[in-house]
Amino acid sequence: MKCEICGYQFIPWEKTDQKEHTQHCKKFLKAQRKYGNDFVNYYEGEKIKQENNPVIDDSSKDIRTRVNAAWRVLWVYYSREIRLNGYKLNFCSFKAFVPDFLYQNPSIFPADVMKELRVRYPSGARKRRKAV
Ligand SMILES: [Zn+2]
């Protein structure tokens, strides 16, 4: 079965599975408390992407709606990074994550949506220069 909270898949009658799931769930919930309810598990994330990607790509919709849809999807990627980092609680903020993510994935959204996002989330040029 799949946990509705953390998205972990496990066999309920397997003790080790259960144990691992409990640990995973705790970590997930801690992270959700830290990062807020926009922090989502893998399955919620996939659903959000499925719902919002068509909106982002639909140029007949107004740009605000499309940017908001992109914002939801960015939270999915942000959640994924936190998950891949073992639900680290000192991960960078969403605001700091977005500019770098957009920089690394320049064609992930249509150009007009990208432009708006870059205005909303100005790039951390200072930080990047320091890294070099
Ligand atoms: Zn769980």
Q: pTM for the full model?
A: 0.90
Whole-number Å distance, alpha carbon 20 to ligand 1 midpoint, is 9
Whole-number Å distance, alpha carbon 53 to ligand 1 midpoint, is 27
Strand pairing partners for 78? none
- Distances from the Cα of 58 to the Cαs of 66, 74, 112, 120, in angstroms? 8, 17, 11, 20
Answer whether residue 3 is part of any domain. Answer: no
Structure tokens at 54: 């068509």
pLDDT at 53: 98
Answer whether residue 77 is part of any domain. Answer: yes
Whole-number Å distance, alpha carbon 75 to ligand 1 midpoint, is 20
Answer whether residue 7 is part of any domain. Answer: no
d(Cα 23, Cα 42) in Å, to the nearest integer? 17
pLDDT at 128: 52
Please name which of 117, 37, 111 lies closest in space to residue 79, comparing C-alpha atoms. 37
Answer whether residue 10 is part of any domain. Answer: no
Whole-number Å distance, alpha carbon 29 to ligand 1 midpoint, is 8
Q: Categorize the per-residue pLDDT at 132 as very low, low, confident or very high, splitting at 50, 70 and 90.
A: very low
What pLDDT digit, counting tens, does each position of 89-125 carry? Answer: 999 999 999 999 999 999 999 999 999 999 999 976 5
pLDDT above 90 covers what percent of the chain?
A: 91
- Distances from the Cα of 126 to the Cαs of 96, 100, 104, in angstroms? 12, 12, 16
What mean pLDDT, rounded, does the chain reach?
93
Whole-number Å distance, alpha carbon 3 to ligand 1 midpoint, is 4
pLDDT at 88: 95
Cβ neighbour number for residue 114 with a 10 Å cutoff: 17
pLDDT at 127: 54
Whether pLDDT at 60 is above 90 = yes
Give the structural domain span for 88. Answer: 15-131
Number of domains comprising the chain? 1
The DSSP secondary structure of 71-92, one letter per residue, reads HHHHHHHHHHHHHHTTS-TTPP
Answer whether residue 2 is part of any domain. Answer: no
